């Protein structure tokens, strides 16, 4: 789906104190937590969309720093605006945003710098020739292997069964360990306290089952 460009979003992102761009983040490699007031365990969401999930994660977990990563400026602009609207009631000082391509993660994060990675409703890239663009492809798993702590984990949710089955096969053929897997996550006891994304609310409201896996090394 083609995203609608919002006039002025580039300047908005550049001026936003809550956000840094890819080149700035690369310059901060090994010191990315300097963008926060306090250093804490670090969790990231790759492809956060409008940011509902990571905002609520930050509110629920004040002892953790969160970075929401999104490469589309128009979408990122909305995420920042919604954070600011919430801050009229409660400051969210443990959430920052990064405008960057996920393929640059090893240029931005130091080895073992990230505690957890969230992949929520990622673009399925359904054509075979685009398989390496999927955020659960072998290439991306190698990226996550470098930036995650040894005990770090990845949590992946999607409503796309084809993408989920592909991801299971990738994990099966890798050194990663499948800690949790469900083709109907909302029916599991593990879904208690689940924080939903905008897409998750929409798709589950339409009767679609949500798939989830958790993997580690």
Q: Which residues are catalytic?
A: 123
**Degrees, nearest 5: CA angle 47-48-50:** 130
One DSSP character per residue, 54-83 reads HHHHHHH-TTSEEEEE---HHHHHHHHHHH
Say which residues have a Cβ less than 8 Å from residue 8's Cβ, sequence separation at least 6: none
Say which residues have a Cβ less than 8 Å from residue 90's Cβ, sequence separation at least 6: 59
How many whole angstroms separate alpha carbon 47 and alpha carbon 12? 19
């Amino acid at each position: 789906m083609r995203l609608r460009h919002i006039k002025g979003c580039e300047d908005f992102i550049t001026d936003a104190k809550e956000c840094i761009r890819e080149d700035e983040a690369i310059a901060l490699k090994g010191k990315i937590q300097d963008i926060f007031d306090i250093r804490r365990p670090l969790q990231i969401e790759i492809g956060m969309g409008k940011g509902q999930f990571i905002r609520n994660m930050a509110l629920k977990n004040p002892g953790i720093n969160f970075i929401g990563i999104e490469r589309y400026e128009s979408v990122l602009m909305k995420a920042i605006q919604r954070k600011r609207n919430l801050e009229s009631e409660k400051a969210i000082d443990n959430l920052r945003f990064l405008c960057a391509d996920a393929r640059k993660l090893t240029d931005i994060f130091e080895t073992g710098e990230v505690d957890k990675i969230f992949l929520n409703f990622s673009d399925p890239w359904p054509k075979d020739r685009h398989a390496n663009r999927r955020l659960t492809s072998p290439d991306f798993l190698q990226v996550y292997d470098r930036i995650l702590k040894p005990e770090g984990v990845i949590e992946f949710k999607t409503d796309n069964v084809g993408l989920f089955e592909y991801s299971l096969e990738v994990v099966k053929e890798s050194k990663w360990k499948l800690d949790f897997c469900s083709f109907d996550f909302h029916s599991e006891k593990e879904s208690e306290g689940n924080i939903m994304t905008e897409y998750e609310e929409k798709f589950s409201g339409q009767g679609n089952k949500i798939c989830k896996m958790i993997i580690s090394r």
